[in-house]
Structures are given as structure tokens and as C-alpha cells.
Amino acid sequence: MREAYHVELEQLAVKLAEMSGQVATAMELATESLLNTDLALAEQVITDDVKVDDARSACEEQAYALLALQAPVATDLRAVLAAIHAAESLERMGDLALHVAKAARRRHPDPVLPDQVREYFARMGTIAVRLARQAEEVIKSKDVDAALALEADDDEVDDIHKHLFTVLMDREWPYGVAAAVDVTLLGRFYERFADHAVSVARRMVFVVTGKMPGYGTSDEV
């Protein structure tokens, strides 16, 4: 019975890792569609989003079944609770990639991004995808140091996001209000995607140590 229970816990971790891989691919394709005005890629991200939603439902269903039927304690309980929270964050990451793809589709065949900011979004896209891939590996390995290392990349996304406001507030911004709104929203999507990837990694630290990084010393969930 207990062996089967731990197999189910491992299966839950596998599902979460697969979700992280899914949202990494979604943001990779969404960014490419944004930068290259590629409608087909945007449509692919939009169509595939339901798979991420379904994956979250499957993870939550399995996690709640484990809570109800196995009454886990200590590390096992933390693993189940962390899985529920991580699945929520991963679904939101998928939604954020979806928003990027929808922006590309909405403006097609015109580009969404003015040339002045393309390099910033290319960089944020690269980091965001890397963060999701790193979160995938952390879910598999439960490596605390690797989980904490995500913070540095997240800081770079935050810095780029803040710099975009400086660009937009320049009196010589020549692209109009609509472009400024698009850039503002898209910057926020990437910033939140990165934040959620870090949140997923923090949940894995919680599983191992019983402590949430940055949230004191109690066993917070």
C-alpha cells in the first residue's frame, strides 16, 4: 500500500515536470510569434492551451485523492500541497504565454512590437523559457541550490520590465498610445511568467526543507 502511494507521489511530480515543459514550449512559441509576426505559431499556442488546463486538473485530482485516501504527513504532505500550488502557478504561466500569442494574433499582419523594444522582449522571452525549463528540472531533482538559482534570472526580467517604463515615458516615444499599451501589457506578462516559475521552484524548496524561501521560518504553504 505505502509503496503504491509513493509511486503515485512520483507520478504527480512527473506530471508537474511535464506541465513545466509544456508552458516553456508555449512561451517559446509565443515569443517567436511575437517577434516574427508568425500567425501559425500564435494559433498553435492558443489551441494547445487547453492541454495545460487539462494537465492542471489531472494534477489537482490526483493530489486531492492522495490527501483524502492516504492522509500524508511531514514531507509527503508538503509534496502534495506543493503540487497543488505549483500546478496553479504552471497553469497561470500557460495563460500568460496564451496572452502573448493572442497579442500577436490580434495585431497580425502588423507587428506588435516597435523596433525600439524588440531586443528587450527577445531577451525576456529567452529568460522566461529558461526559467520554465529550470523549474522542470528542479521538480524532478528537488535540488534546493538549483531552485534558489532561479532568482538571478528573475531579477534580470524584473530589471528589463522596469526599464521598459523608462522607454515608454520618454517624451520622444514616437509609436503612439496603442503601441505603448501593448508594450506595457506584454512586459507584465513576461514579468509574471518569470515570477510564477520562481514560485514553482520555491515550492520544491518547501518540500525538501519545510520552509518557503523569503517567507520566514515557519512551514508555510
Q: What are the cell numbers at 192?
A: 509574471
Give the pLDDT score at 214: 67
Rounded alpha-carbon distances, angstroms, from residue 203 to 114, 179, 190, 219: 37, 36, 20, 11
Residue 21 CA, chain-centre distance (Å), reads 10
Rounded alpha-carbon distances, angstroms, from residue 111 to 18, 38, 46, 167: 31, 9, 18, 18
| Percentage above 90 pLDDT, the chain | 85
- C-beta separation of 160 from 95 below 8 A: no
Could you give the domains of the chain?
2-209 (1.20.58.220)
pTM above 0.85, yes or no: yes
Helical residues (DSSP H) of 71-175, grouped into ranges:
74-107, 115-141, 144-169
Instruction: Give me the mean pLDDT over the 186-215 stretch.
Output: 93
Closest CA to 157 of 195, 185, 184: 195
pLDDT in tens, 69-81: 888 888 899 999 9
DSSP, res 142: -
CA distance 5 to 40: 43
Give the pLDDT score at 193: 98
Give the pLDDT score at 158: 97
Does the pLDDT value for residue 217 go beyond 70?
no
Instruction: Give me the mean pLDDT over the 26-39 stretch.
Output: 98
pLDDT in tens, 135-169: 999 999 999 999 999 999 999 999 999 999 999 99
| Percentage above 70 pLDDT, the chain | 95
- Across the chain, what does the average pLDDT equal? 93
Give the pLDDT score at 218: 35
Closest CA to 145 of 79, 209, 74, 219: 209
pLDDT in tens, 3-16: 777 888 899 999 99
Give the pLDDT score at 1: 54
Q: Cis ω on the peptide bond leading into residue 111 (within 30° of 0)?
A: no
